[in-house]
Structure 1
């Protein structure tokens, strides 16, 4: 077990006892025709950070010290997600204000690579509210994984696409292999893939535009890196963030599960990220 994951689990136990951590209570919903997607129904009230009404205070400036896992540098800190979807769910945040809607920096990729070298897993990023972000302060999210554990329900499908043995999905995205995960070259490779995907997808470039030109999601694990361009945040009563494109969907009372069962998850994701 990586030291960051070990620290996150120990901090989680302490924070849950004090009430600083509020794990989301969910159950798996078996819905025929939706495999390999995993659907979970929210069993508690919708957390405040998932509601759209009204201005929100910045929970990361300052961050709750009871949720701090590790101070990585003068620029970044690793903290627990207050409303985790699993044990050890952590956020990588800058210690000073950086907008979620701005360009990710070389320092962001260096911090991510340093965490990943110790604690691998599924990373995801929602570029703004229209892409499913709940906070405007920059935060990249990590769901740690054991070495033999699949990163997400669509991990096998991503591997098949990279081998050329599976048709592309019906939305606008780029999927690239990673060759240097866990090495000294990881941060530079991540930054290069990020900027190449942004250019290829028409999202712009840091030297030409003050911020990306459209909402997008990032999903990455040690073997691959994916960028998805977003056209809307929700469909059929379902709010979709980056985890949707990893194969994880959250069902709430507003979700139209009849529509989902009739049309399927691929149609849902195409509706929010269609070409």
Structure 2
């Protein structure tokens, strides 16, 4: 249901100009036997980072009717991302403001998994600016995409620190308990707090119907290219062909390792 409405509203938004995609068509760059996906960003990126947009919180009520998809439980709402990296691009947002850098709670996982309806859906979460988040109001994201690094992930061959859990079916409570365990073992909780809530060191989560990956982050930029949670599945966004050439020479996995914690 969420995806059906998402496709319908995305088509209307593209036709009306309300939806402003950040991407061009996919470019496939093969490196070390992996077919990475790269997009050259559109001029809409400048709109996204303009002061009037960057300082506005779009995740609080009243919601833009063209972006509203559905309410999920008592604490969350599903909205359409006005600046999608893949169309459609869904957001599972806390109704009330909760910092993106505070720990996830069970209700977050319960709402998030409702959008992971088949094998093509990727959920990702960016905990704070260093992890790639441009909006500090709690939100988890959903797109449909191929997963270039999935084989590398499942074979345990990622060259940076991470935690992987595999499962046969999604269970929000089990995912949450595992998340709490990893947050503790990786020492991702900080001693500081914001709005009375504990803060966390930056990290990303990738979530599919089959596995969940958590990656601690140390930086959000290498050279002139900024990192993002979806990079860790093998999708990249660059601002120019010159950046693409630089990234290809530098190495996709080297870039990811620099953004994380080398083993």
TM norm structure 2 = 0.86
Is the 8 Å Cα contact of residues 30 and 36 (structure 2) preserved in structure 1?
Answer: no
Partner of 2:58: 59
Q: SS of 1:211's equivalent?
A: strand
1:199 maps to 2:184: yes
Partner of 2:250: 263
Assess, with a 3 A threshold, how the Cα gap between structure 1 residues 240 and 211 changes in structure 2: closer, same or farther: same
CA deviation map 1:115-167 (0-9, x unaligned): 3358961000100111100101111000136xxxx4x2112222333xxxxxx
Structure 2 regions of 5+ residues with no counterpart?
none
Is the 8 Å Cα contact of residues 125 and 140 (structure 1) preserved in structure 2?
Answer: yes
Relative to its length, the structure with more strand (as a share) is 2
Partner of 1:16: 14
Moved more, 31-40 or 258-267: 31-40
Q: How does 1:62-211 map to 2 (within 5 A)?
A: 62=61, 63-117=63-117, 121-144=121-144, 150=146, 152-161=147-156, 168-181=157-170, 186-204=171-189, 210-211=197-198
Assess, with a 3 A threshold, how the Cα gap between structure 1 residues 118 and 160 changes in structure 2: closer, same or farther: closer
Is the 8 Å Cα contact of residues 193 and 225 (structure 1) preserved in structure 2?
Answer: no
Structure 1 regions of 5+ residues with no counterpart?
162-167
CA deviation map 1:29-62 (0-9, x unaligned): 4545363221111243524435799961211123
Shift of 1:234: 0.7
Q: 1:247 aligns with which of 222, 229, 234?
A: 234
Partner of 1:44: 43
Partner of 1:5: 3
Moved more, 14-23 or 59-68: 14-23
Shift of 1:229: 0.6
Shift of 1:237: 1.0
Shift of 1:110: 1.1
- Structure-2 separation of matches of 1:229 and 1:255: 28
Shift of 1:101: 0.9
- Structure-2 separation of matches of 1:270 and 1:8: 33
- Structure-2 separation of matches of 1:192 and 1:99: 21
Q: SS of 1:15's equivalent?
A: helix
- Structure-2 separation of matches of 1:119 and 1:70: 22
Is the 8 Å Cα contact of residues 91 and 140 (structure 2) preserved in structure 1?
Answer: yes
TM norm structure 1 = 0.83
Q: SS of 2:35's equivalent?
A: coil
CA deviation map 1:46-93 (0-9, x unaligned): 244357999612111233221111112231111111011222210000
Q: SS of 2:163's equivalent?
A: strand
